[in-house]
Amino acid sequence: MKTPIQCPDTIPLFPLNVVLFPKGLLELRIFEIRYLDMIKDCLKKQKEFGVVLIKAGSEKTINLDIEEIGTLAKIVSFDQGPDGLLHITVQGTEPFQVNSYSLESNGLTVGRTQPHLTQNEKILDSHSKPVSLLKKILMNNRKPVTLTPPILGEASWVAYRLAEFLEPTNQEKLAILAESNAQLKLDKVEKLIKHRNSDY
């Protein structure tokens, strides 16, 4: 079983219409006061926040419903964009489970969480179908998909990267993230590949 980074009991949450995978990159424009304060605090204290998928509501809504599984996000770069807004890039670190959540006085959602562990991490053969496909995709992709070295032998890492390129629905992405068994996680991705390409 993979040893996770310790997930804090209580973390600030950023509900979005997107699913962030561990080691994946996400660019965000920050303009709401509650999130500007959150980012400032995270930078000052060198801590992470949680990205969670919105179940009901919109990103601009204060009272919204969120999914139970999310990913911790580490800020890796920030600057002021040409639009005058704060632009940040975050990298996903570890999945977590939201046990409960509430609203702060400034409208920020705060969650009480626990790590969502990935079990039965499988070591993949370098010539296996998913690894070979991902190698081809990475060779033809100019934009970096992660800031860390490739882990082509790890089933969950391969599953996450393939899912990013497949661009499935948010619910399909969430199902992949929420699956705690690494092999079953990869199976879900391969099923999506076969649905799109019967020759796989």
Enumerate domains of the chain plus CATH numbers: 10-115 (2.30.130.40), 129-196 (no CATH)
Q: How confident is the model at residue 6 (pLDDT cuts 50, 70, 90)?
A: low
pLDDT score of 130 more than 80: yes
The stretch 95-113 carries a mean pLDDT of 94
pLDDT tens-place string over residues 154-178 = 999 999 999 999 989 999 999 999 9
- Per the CB < 8 A criterion, the answer to whether 11 and 102 are in contact is no
pLDDT for 3 equals 46
Assigned token pair, 196: 């799109």
pLDDT score of 57 more than 50: yes
H/E segment holding residue 112: strand 109-115
Q: How confident is the model at residue 118 (pLDDT cuts 50, 70, 90)?
A: confident
Ranking 22-26, 124-128, 191-195 by mean pLDDT, the lowest is: 124-128
Own/partner long-range contacts of 99-103 (Cβ < 8 Å, ≥24 apart): 101/13, 101/66, 103/62, 103/63
The stretch 28-49 carries a mean pLDDT of 95
Tokens 């179908």 — which residue?
129
The stretch 42-71 carries a mean pLDDT of 89
* Whether the model pTM is above 0.75: yes
pLDDT for 42 equals 96
Length of the chain (residues): 200
CA 177 to chain centre: 8
* CA diameter of the chain: 54
Q: How confident is the model at residue 4 (pLDDT cuts 50, 70, 90)?
A: very low
Assigned token pair, 38: 């959150």
